[in-house]
Amino acid sequence: MHILITGATRGIGAGLAEAYRAQGHEVTGTGRSSGAEVTLDVTQPSDHRAMAAQLEGQPIDLLVCNAGVYLDKGNDLDSGYAPDLWAQSFAANVTGVFLTIQTLLPNLRAAPAPRIAIISSQMASHTRAPGGSYIYRASKAAVLNLGRNLASELTGEIAVGIYHPGWVQTDMGGSSADITVDEAVAGLMARFAALNHKTTGCFETWDGRAHAY
């Protein structure tokens, strides 16, 4: 199986890449640094064009849209959430996901049973709205909506799932988070394996629970 993972140079993305390689799969990891197989800043259309050329003709069985940013952590309602943070966050967390999927549609369509996994967050759900992190919450809600609509349009062709990876001990999640990268990776891999045309459009947690939209 050929798996492409965005944001694969650290955190959950790196953990997924390592685990899939250990199982013998072909993994293409992307990242903004030169350590990735494909150099990709998901906000840059030129990088997407270069990726398309580099991967032309290569089927992709599973695309994991993992790359994302959390730029407004700790911002104050009265003085924070600057306009440029909104623009940067949506460019990475929403537009970047769409451009990645759009760019790789030919590769996905060349695979026998292609799947797309979008990493969102429980913070996207209307059932978890305690305030704060307004930009991150809004961007993750937007990518949840994007995934749901893609699932509808690609019904019968490409299965699409949206996932909450857990509160994970990464640079983004912090050392006090609930679960380790290894725990998140094992759970997510099980979710991706279960994704099919009957479950397309699902919004699930890393440990297999359906999440309210």
The pair phi, psi for residue 105, each rounded to 5°, is -55, -45
Could you give phi then psi for residue 178, rounded to 5 degrees? -75, -40
User: Residue 125 — pLDDT band, cuts 50, 70, 90?
Assistant: confident
pLDDT at residue 39 in the model: 96
For residue 29, give the nearest of 56, 69, 63 by alpha carbon: 63
Instruction: Report the chain's mean pLDDT, rounded to a whole number.
Output: 92
SS3 184: helix
Closest CA to 162 of 96, 65, 67: 65
3-state SS assignment for residue 80: coil
pLDDT at 52 over 80: yes
- If you search the block for the tokens 């990776």, which residue do you land on? 185
Count the alpha carbons within 13 Å of 121 in the hemisphere toward its beta carbon: 24
Query: What average pLDDT does range 184-189 have in this prediction?
Result: 93
Q: Residue 177 pLDDT > 70, yes or no?
A: no
- Residue 172 burial by Cβ neighbours in a 10 Å radius (0-12, 13-18, 19+): middle
- Alpha-carbon distance of 209 to 206, in angstroms, equals 8
pLDDT of 64 higher than 70: yes
Tokens 């725990």 correspond to what residue?
183
Check whether 172 has a pLDDT greater than 90.
no
With bands split at pLDDT 50, 70 and 90, how would you rate the model's confidence at 61? very high
| 2, 7, 85 from 192: Cα distances, Å | 13, 17, 31
Q: Cα–Cα distance between 116 and 62 in angstroms, integer?
A: 6
Domain boundaries, the chain: 2-205
209 residue type, one letter: R
Name the CATH topology of 2-205.
Rossmann fold (3.40.50)
Confidence tier at 201 by pLDDT (50, 70, 90): very high
- Region 58-81 average pLDDT: 96
Please list, in sequence order, all residues whose beta carbon lies within 8 angstroms of the beta carbon of residue 121, skipping any fewer than 6 positions away: 136, 137, 140, 164, 165
Asked if the model's pLDDT at residue 76 lies above 70, the reply is yes
